[in-house]
Structure 1
């Protein structure tokens, strides 16, 4: 198999994995709405984890900005419904069209 084909297949697999993980992480972030009373505590714990995961998943400037936005989105009240991970994936692979 051609090296370019193998690389393209790996990049597609990586993009798909990031999308699936992003949807899962967005769902985790929204779980606080399902458990009344402890939502604020969950958000305090999840906010830095969310920010770190975004920085780790998306390198460079995009990851840093997404990490800050993700942290703020989780720590601020009533913003958990914003799917930051999925929106970052869309920005990275559709708008910027990066591999």
Structure 2
């Protein structure tokens, strides 16, 4: 189960990295955020299929749509919130991760 937790963290870091990349592309970057925001929200919901995941998916959508907020690592912060601060178990998200 620890392997699955680490896999979720790796996905979080990758998704945050992809979201931050658009801030380094002049002129076109903000338009890429328009396409990335719904995808990021969907992935957040898939990673955390709970009420907290729904809230996080709305937050990541807003964070990606708004200009100059790409630097916020929303996926990684959600992972920290879920597994470090709230100390949830991997079983809570294991089914969703296996399916996706």
TM bucket (normalised to shorter chain) is 0.7 to 0.9
- The residue number in structure 2 matching 1:40 is 30
TM-score between the two structures when normalised by the length of structure 1: 0.87
Q: CA RMSD in A?
A: 0.7
2:19 aligned counterpart, secondary structure? helix
Q: Which has the higher contact order (CA 8 A, sep 6+)?
A: 2
The correspondence for 2:7, drawn from 17, 22, 44, is 17
Deviation of residue 55 (structure 1)? 0.3
Moved over 3 A (4+): none
- The residue number in structure 2 matching 1:28 is 18
Between Structure 1 and Structure 2, whose CA radius of gyration is higher?
A: 1
Q: How does 1:11-90 map to 2 (within 5 A)?
A: 11-90=1-80
2:71 aligned counterpart, secondary structure? coil
Deviation of residue 68 (structure 1)? 0.3
1:70 aligned counterpart, secondary structure? helix
Post-superposition Cα deviations, 1:57-98, rounded to whole Å, max 9, x if no partner, equal 011111101100000000011111000000000000011101
